[in-house]
Amino acid sequence: MKAKYEPRIDLTNRTALETVIPLASPYVVFVDPCDACNFKCKFCPTSSKNLMVSVNRPLRVMKLEIFKKICDDLLDFSPKVRVLRLYKDGEPLLNKKLPEMIDYAKTKKVSDRIDTTTNASLLSEDTGKALVNAGLDRINISIESDDY
């Protein structure tokens, strides 16, 4: 299968929010499987251990049981969430349970789509296959550049 490169935001099929608010349920829910990261990007607050300590934010991996509780709670929304986005501040591939998380959310049908964003440093052939087999719909690769 040939890789498809496209912007993360689908501007063609995008819903104009002003035409549908108030929303009965969120379109996108961000869940951070791991709020730690293995990179030290100068633009990212997560890479500053001193900052994380000063705001009393421990860096850790989400437990599978917590993720399952979140998914079970998301089932209360009607209509269901459109996108479950498995990342926010950390590197999701640091969580070894990520494929299990995706599989659980897919099996429960908590959202129309599941995606993640990664720096891809931990992405191997085996990991990629596990993510695909679990049902991941989209993976975004974030690359730091000093061209900004």
| pLDDT value of position 146 | 54
**How far apart (Å, rounded) are the C-alpha atoms in residues 103 and 110?**
11
| pLDDT value of position 148 | 43
What is the SS3 assignment for the chain? CCCCCCCCCCCCCCCCHHHCCCCCCCCEEECCCECCCCCCCCCCHHHCHHHHHHCCCCCCECCHHHHHHHHHHHCCCCCCEEEEECCCCCCHHHCCCHHHHHHHHHHHCCEEEEEEEECCCCCCHHHHHHHHHHCCCEEEECCCCCCC
User: pLDDT tens string for the chain (148 positions)?
Assistant: 566 666 667 777 788 888 989 999 999 999 999 988 888 777 777 777 778 888 887 778 999 999 999 999 999 999 999 999 999 989 999 999 999 999 999 999 999 999 999 999 999 999 999 999 999 999 999 877 554 4
| pLDDT value of position 139 | 94
| pLDDT value of position 1 | 59
Residue pointed to by tokens 């995008």: 14
Contacts of 44 (CB under 8 A, 6+ apart): 37, 89
Cβ atoms of residues 74 and 81 within 8 Å: yes
Domains of the chain, CATH where assigned: 25-141 (3.20.20.70)
Distances (CA, A) of 37 to 27, 109, 127: 26, 28, 17
